[in-house]
């Protein structure tokens, strides 16, 4: 029998019992829709993370303080005050691999502006921090090398801080107080939004590193140093240089462990995408179970259909259909049933994914290969669960089938 004829017969039989076919497909529709929606959202947030990384700069290296070790107790990262302004100066002398260097002296402080106050992160950074983090200024200017040299009390505010302390106003030129030290606002950062982890990158005040180091942090050590390599290709060389410079500056003898940690941004990203990837896979697997349940629904309805159409099978066999012809006919019906369900499911899933994405602000990525894989998978569900009923139909005895009432 020709394919188009087989497909036509299958459609006729599916359309004959519209309600029944729709209910049968529902299992597949729900399964496919949830898989598509979950994968779409998962890939979307992965893409978000990757975008974040490239916006932060893929050639970024972050150096943290090492862990303390005393009396057999190891502290976590940053417990050992090992980074100093001298380290920053030393790193600046490696221009072949390292382009920008900025310390990050981070404090959490209550900031007061007029009658309003707000608790936010104060970051003491150098001028090149703007380049390292890809920040842009939306208003005013950034602090100058002179400001840094003079430990000037100037501040650049993130957008969230401006919204909280100066709603609807231009803060440039006004005064704020950080730890009772008055600062002049010289600029406002352009918005960067949230990180992949959900922390607000605009809830920050940048001040000169020297100001932070000497006026705000009581001369505490530097928490981190951010370094950008000259190019992405030189990341490994840059990392090696950082190690060498810092080990030399810290006078570490050979064989001793580093008293600092160097992390690249890509490393962070890969961890983050691994987490979302695992989560997506897990949720999709659960959704896949409903696909199997849908497949069982198809098998059930196909068995009913075979019984209902016993006489038709008998007629077809009497006029010369082989068992294989009958098998193919019912198999195609099962596959078409599940494929239509799959197509409805894909449409529903894409709709749901974009709906949730719009509501939560996550990106949605529906890739062709996911749709293709879903189509192939639903077709295989049809073949797998349609086979037993089709086999049963093909094994009928024509004499008995013809006599069936």
Partner 1 sequence: MDVIVLENIHKVFRLGGETVRALNGVSLTIHKGEYVAVMGASGSGKSTLMNVLGCLDQASMGGYRLEGLCVTAMNKHQLADVRNSKIGFVFQGFNLLPRTSALENVELPLLYSRHSSGVSHRDKARSALDKVGLSDRMDHHPNQLSGGQQQRVAIARALVNDPAIILADEPTGNLDSKTTLDILSVFKSLNDKGITLIMVTHEPDVASHAKRVITMRDGIIIDDRNVDQKDRVVAP
In the complex, the residues that contact partner 1 under the rule CB under 8 A are 1-2, 5, 12, 16, 311-312, 314-325, 398-399, 402
CB of 9 to partner 1, least distance (A): 9
What's the CA gap between 263 and 77, in Å, rounded?
A: 12
Q: Which residue, 48 or 312, is less far from partner 1 as judged by CB?
A: 312
Check if the beta carbon of residue 125 is closer than 8 Å to that of residue 100: no
Among residues 170 and 308, whose Cβ is nearest to partner 1? 308
Q: Which is nearer to partner 1, 178 or 336 (CB)?
A: 336
Sign of the C-alpha dihedral, residues 307, 312, 315, 319? negative
CB 386 within 8 A of CB 334: yes
> What is the smallest separation between the CB atom of 8 and partner 1, expressed in angstroms?
10
Residue-wise DSSP of 234-269: GHHHHHHHHHHHHHHHTTPPTTSPPSEEEEEHHHHH
Nearer to partner 1, 1 or 221 (CB): 1
- In angstroms, give the least distance from the CB of 333 to partner 1: 15
The nearest distance, CB 383 to partner 1, in angstroms, is 22
Round the CA-based radius of gyration of the chain to a whole number and report it.
33
Question: Which CB sits closer to partner 1, 135 or 330?
Answer: 330
Per-position b or e across 225-238, b if 16+ CB within 10 A of its CB:
bbbbbbeeebbebb
- Helix or strand run (H / E) with residue 181: strand 181-189
Nearer to partner 1, 20 or 322 (CB): 322
Give the shortest CB-338-to-partner 1 separation in angstroms. Answer: 23
| Shortest CB 337 distance to partner 1, Å | 18
Alpha carbons 297 and 285: distance in angstroms, whole number: 19
């Amino acid at each position: 029998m020709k394919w188009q004829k087989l497909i036509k017969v299958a459609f006729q039989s599916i359309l004959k019992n519209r309600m029944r076919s729709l209910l049968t497909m529902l299992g597949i529709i729900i399964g496919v829709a949830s898989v598509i929606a979950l994968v779409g959202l998962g890939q979307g947030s992965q893409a978000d993370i990757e975008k974040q990384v490239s916006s932060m700069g893929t050639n970024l290296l972050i150096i943290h303080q090492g862990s303390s070790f005393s009396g057999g107790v190891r502290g976590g990262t940053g417990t050992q005050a090992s980074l100093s302004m001298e380290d920053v100066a030393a790193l600046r002398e490696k221009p072949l691999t390292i382009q920008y260097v900025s310390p990050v002296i981070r404090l959490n402080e209550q900031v007061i502006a007029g009658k309003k106050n707000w608790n936010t992160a104060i970051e003491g950074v150098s001028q090149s921090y703007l380049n390292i983090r890809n920040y842009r200024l939306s208003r005013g200017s950034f602090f100058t090398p002179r400001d840094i040299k003079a430990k000037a009390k100037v501040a650049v505010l993130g957008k969230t801080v401006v919204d909280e302390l100066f709603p609807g106003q231009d803060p440039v030129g006004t005064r704020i107080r950080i730890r009772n030290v008055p600062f002049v606002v010289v600029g406002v950062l352009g918005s960067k939004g949230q990180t992949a982890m959900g922390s607000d990158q605009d809830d920050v005040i940048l001040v000169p590193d020297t100001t932070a180091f000497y006026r705000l942090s009581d001369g505490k050590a530097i928490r981190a140093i951010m370094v950008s390599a000259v190019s992405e290709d030189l990341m490994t060389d840059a990392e090696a240089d950082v190690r060498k410079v810092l080990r030399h500056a810290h006078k570490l003898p050979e064989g001793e462990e580093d008293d600092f940690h160097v992390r690249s941004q890509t490393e962070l990203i890969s961890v983050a995408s691994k987490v979302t990837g695992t989560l997506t896979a897990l949720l999709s697997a659960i959704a896949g179970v409903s696909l199997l349940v849908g497949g069982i629904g198809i098998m059930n309805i196909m068995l009913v259909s075979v019984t209902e159409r016993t006489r038709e099978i008998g007629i077809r066999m009497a006029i010369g259909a082989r068992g294989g012809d009958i098998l193919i006919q019912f198999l195609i019906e099962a596959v078409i049933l599940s494929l239509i369900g799959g197509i409805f499911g894909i449409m529903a899933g894409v709709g749901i994914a974009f709906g949730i994405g719009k509501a939560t602000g996550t990106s949605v990525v529906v890739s062709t290969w996911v749709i293709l894989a879903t189509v192939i998978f639903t077709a295989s569900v049809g073949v797998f669960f349609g086979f037993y009923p089709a086999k049963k139909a093909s094994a009928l005895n024509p004499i008995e089938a013809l006599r069936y009432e």
